[in-house]
Structure 1
């Protein structure tokens, strides 16, 4: 670099964040940098980049009469204080203050300790001069001497007691201050461990050239690991209206060693980790295996560029001085907390409120939208597994939001009932949500009646008959209930095994019609087989009524064979 280069050193964390686009496994940060360039070559150095920076992900865009010649990211040596985050810098300053207080306490304790030692020394010298006999052998004790001794003892007792009391107080204060210092040192140590701090940090050097002095604006865009988002939902069902309100949240985690302060957020469903290149398929050749050598297969791999690359001298980028600024955010609409953009391969949710998400955040919730639907409340039971009736809300997603697979908290009439999981639901698709057990619907699974028959004139065969009775009762006095009973009917895997449903009369599964219907279609009264060959029998229970449902089927097979039943999912 020539001697005429102008160098600008900037702290990355001090540059304004224009946008953070959070993917499911990473985040893309866009920071805005303003710099006054000098004519000639300029170097803008961004210090203390995130340690989670993804290699090769940085790119630079901007506006102004200048040309980007180079973008280089490298490790540079630094002192710990130089790479401190704002929070850590404040804690270090606090530690220095507390250490100064500790030293002050130690100094006061030394003064008091010296005072006690000197007092003891003076008391010994003066007292010895008063009571020790003179060299001639006589003892001089008179009223004056006794008065002096009394005054000496009083002086020593009072001052010695005061000094020792001060020393004990100072010792307590010293221990407390030591604990404060130790706590702050542990906090610094913990932060350093979390941030993996060392003497090396990453810095980006952006080389620019302009013909004359000019103001330039740079957009620094880079990706970081240890960040992502996942959907979650609050589903509130009101059985009186009925209505279903779904609050769609995005849960953000952030461990990128940098803070996102006042950041406009975009949540994206794109998955950059999967790449965008179709794998190549070579020719598979069949040959005889040789005993002398092993055939080597090689797969030709072509270099795949990342989503973001650094500018190079051969691909210099010219700023456009007429670039339009980003459009202002739209005002928040009623019951919607984000703008939805449907791209070819992904969906983006632009959160309409800026957020501050510090490093170390595991569960920062932002609202994507609120959807109100009109559900159909149905009851389902699988009595062979659990003799309970489960209330289910079935609804069509009439909103423009695509619900992604995520955890949900379900509330029924403002009471929390369960943690559940919502599957992917596209706009216009029907879905269902379990609301828990309805104790007003009683289900009794009675012991099955099983008996064996034999027949046939030429070829003897056996028939196993199973008759299952299920008693159901609606104890509600004000409204009827639509209840679907799901039950096994064996499916034959051998032409010698024949299964016949005697009761009830059920509609067979239509594979062509089934592919065109959603899995969670609204149930209708009657019996039918589903795609798993299970019986689904839907009945309507009037208030304060009960029914006995009988499921009967026959399994025929050769007499000398034994049929076993295996449940497969």
Structure 2
């Protein structure tokens, strides 16, 4: 079709199409809060102007998003969108009419039966000894019983038949009832199509609808018995829509960007600077300005207050008035991590009804590399927590979402996956590993005293921690975290003996650990090999945002250990606390 506007002609034909039955959805692009639908229609046109009326479009259709594309020897003339009023829909059927007629006849028959029973009772009650010979009483009662039993059976049968008819009528009404979704499909599109000659053409309606969304979630399956790609990440999407029309057997594309319609480019407002001029005002009783009125003074005060407010807004209230805390309006820093933009194609064709329920689909299964590590803080809890540092080696962008974690086929925990681009990595906690057993041995304490006049007390502490790997495979990275105390006074000195780590710089405390100083001082060791496959270091040294100058200030230490199968590794933490005078009572020791 061309974009040229044809001359105005009277319509030569009107084509009525019902959207659902006369078209097929050939594409759905689903965003976070709306969907873009592409419907394809194929129909015949006559030479000249044809009026194509398409009914049954969803009520929530965003009319400003509607566009029409097509193929064939024809030109689109104009497009208008309207909403049809609620029309009466026939809700009866020949079966329903027959059932209602049977119900009416059965009710009449039941009424006659009840009247016959009532008449029989009245007749029996009217008999007296004056009208009835005693010898005939037995035959009369026998006739009464026979007639009564026959009427009772008839009444029971009619009552059961009436109940059955009521059930059948309700079922038939449910069968022929108009689906609720039909009331949600009342938008009409009128399209003028100018055809150069008679024949078949195709047009596509593309429109946006709200009430549709999707979110990413994951299954993370870990195989602890393999080293090659131990992580299988199953990328899934939960899709919900309540647009009024069902998406039956459609190709679906998931989008993470947000479409916008009709947004203007923002404009910058003038940004003016001025010098604040403070003018003192005298009391109204003493007029300092001859001929000035109270209105003039009020306007001057308002202008002064306005100037102060402007200065507050630009530089903070403490600059202008000195009465409040700085607000730092100017040059405020905002940190934004940004949004991850990606497009996913759901494999195959999918069907999603308009029910507002979540329908789950698998996007892709990824085998990913991961580095396993075990972390334990035995002073608080001797459990070993396993964490996987997963590398997204795929071409897929991982969106933020929840995940279910399975280790060796067993459900372990639920976790959160952050937004991860290709080639980036993320940490995934995998729960507690009972096969790594940690023993936190009782601390050994020794106290010695020295000095004659100014006696000091030296407390020496020794802590042992044992890691036992009961697995059939070795583990290459077990992190054990512990700490020593920090002095808060010059009367207490804390010294780390083993491992022989030193702080990178002095802390703000008067009590200190030994620090290397001077221009020619040797580099401060950040890691020390204390045994085969055991490295001691200040906690945080292997973090990406580590600040070397702050290492050791919190007195936290960790050991990175490799433990063979069915083997044990023991690490030692030794420190001393010197107190002067020895009689001082130490809190927290």
TM-score range, shorter chain: 0.5 to 0.7
> In structure 2, do the counterparts of structure 1 residues 411 and 370 end up closer, same or farther at CA, with 3 Å as the change threshold?
same
2:16 corresponds to: 9
Aligned residue for 2:106, secondary structure, equals: helix
Contact between 2:412 and 2:430, CA under 8 Å: does it hold in 1?
A: yes
TM-score by length of structure 2 reads 0.65
Structure 1 residues 341-360: aligned runs within 5 Å: 346-360=341-355
CA drift at 1:262 = 1.0
Distance 1:71 1:546, change over 3 A: same
Which residue of 417, 435, 439 maps to 2:434? 439
CA distance in structure 2 between the partners assigned to 1:62 and 1:446 by the alignment: 79
* Structure 1 counterpart of 2:107: 109
C-alpha distance after superposition, 1:508-535 (max 9, x if no partner): 99xxxxxxxxxxxxxx963451326675
1:239 aligns with 2:217: no
Task: Write the deviation string for residues 316-368 of structure 1: whole angstroms up to 9, x where unpaired.
Answer: xxxxxxxxxxxxxxxxxxxxxxxxxxxx9843222231111101143212221
Give the deviation of 1:179 after TM superposition. Answer: 7.7
The 1:237/1:116 distance shift into structure 2, 3 A limit, reads: same
Retained in 2: the 8 A contact 1:441–1:472? no
| Equivalent position to 2:407, from 395, 412, 437 | 412
In structure 2, what is the equivalent of residue 270 of structure 1? 257
* Distance in structure 2 (CA, Å) of the matches to 1:436 and 1:275: 48
8 Å CA contact 1:465–1:552 kept in 2: the answer is: no
CA distance in 2, matches of 1:554, 1:219: 81
Flag the structure with more relative contact order, 1 or 2, with Cα contacts below 8 A and sequence separation at least 6.
1
Task: Provide the secondary structure at the position in 2 that maps to 1:359.
Answer: coil
Matched, 1:251 2:238: yes
Identify which of 9, 31, 34 aligns with 2:39. Answer: 31
For 2:569 and 2:367, the matched residues in 1 are separated by 35
Q: Is the 2:469–2:475 contact (alpha carbons within 8 Å) kept by the matching residues of 1?
A: no
Structure-2 residue corresponding to 1:559: none
Shift of 1:217: 0.6
Question: Which of 103, 119, 122 is the equivalent residue of 1:121?
Answer: 119
**Alpha-carbon spacing, 1:477–1:360, altered in 2? closer, same or farther (3 Å):** closer
Correspondence 1:401 to 2:423: no
Alignment of 1:153-552 (within 5 A): 153-170=144-161, 172-173=163-164, 192=180, 197=183, 201-242=186-227, 243-273=230-260, 279-287=266-274, 291-292=301-302, 346-383=341-378, 386-444=381-439, 469=463, 471-476=465-470, 478-482=472-476, 483-486=478-481, 504=499, 526-528=535-537, 529=541, 530=543, 531=545, 537-550=559-572
Structure 2 unaligned regions, length at least 5: 1-7, 278-299, 311-338, 447-457, 488-492, 505-532, 579-589
Pair 258,196 (structure 1): closer, same or farther in 2 beyond 3 Å: closer
Q: 1:362 is paired with a residue of what secondary structure?
A: coil
**Match of residue 89 from structure 1:** none
Task: Return the alpha-carbon distance in structure 2 between the equivalents of residues 478 and 281 of structure 1.
Answer: 67
Gaps of 5+ in 1: 83-91, 298-343, 452-463, 493-497, 510-523, 557-569
Whether contact under 8 Å (1:224, 1:256) holds in the other structure is: yes
State the secondary structure of the residue aligned to 2:562.
strand
Question: Which structure: larger Rg?
Answer: 2
Tell me the CA shift for residue 545 of structure 1.
4.2
Deviations 1:190-211 (A, max 9, x none): x85xx6958x932222222223
**SS in structure 2 at match of 1:256:** coil
CA distance in 1 between counterparts of 2:497 and 2:50 reads 88
Deviation at 1:163, TM superposition (A): 2.3
Contact kept? 2:10, 2:49, Cα under 8 Å: no
- Shift of the 359–161 alpha-carbon distance from structure 1 to 2, 3 Å rule, reads same
CA distance in 2, matches of 1:466, 1:213: 102
Alpha-carbon distance, 1:7 to partner: 2.5
Deviations 1:237-278 (A, max 9, x none): 111224222221122111111100111111122222599876
Contact 2:11 2:51 in 1 (8 A): no
Q: Are the equivalent residues in 2 in contact too, given 1:473–1:547 (CA < 8 A)?
A: yes
Q: How many positions carry a matched residue from both structures?
A: 470
Indicate how the Cα distance of structure 1 residues 4 and 180 shifts in structure 2: closer, same or farther if over 3 A, else same. Answer: closer
Please state how far the C-alpha of 1:32 moved relative to its aligned partner. 0.4
Following superposition, the deviation at residue 419 of structure 1 comes to: 1.5
String of CA shifts for 1:444-495, please: whole Å, max 9, x gaps.
56789999xxxxxxxxxxxx99979462421416433230235679999xxx
1:161 deviates by: 2.0
Tell me how far 1:69 sits from its aligned partner: 2.6
Deviation, 1:45, is 2.1
**Taking structure 1 as reference, are residues 50 and 485 closer, same or farther at Cα in structure 2, changes over 3 Å only?**
farther
Secondary structure at 2:193 match in 1: strand
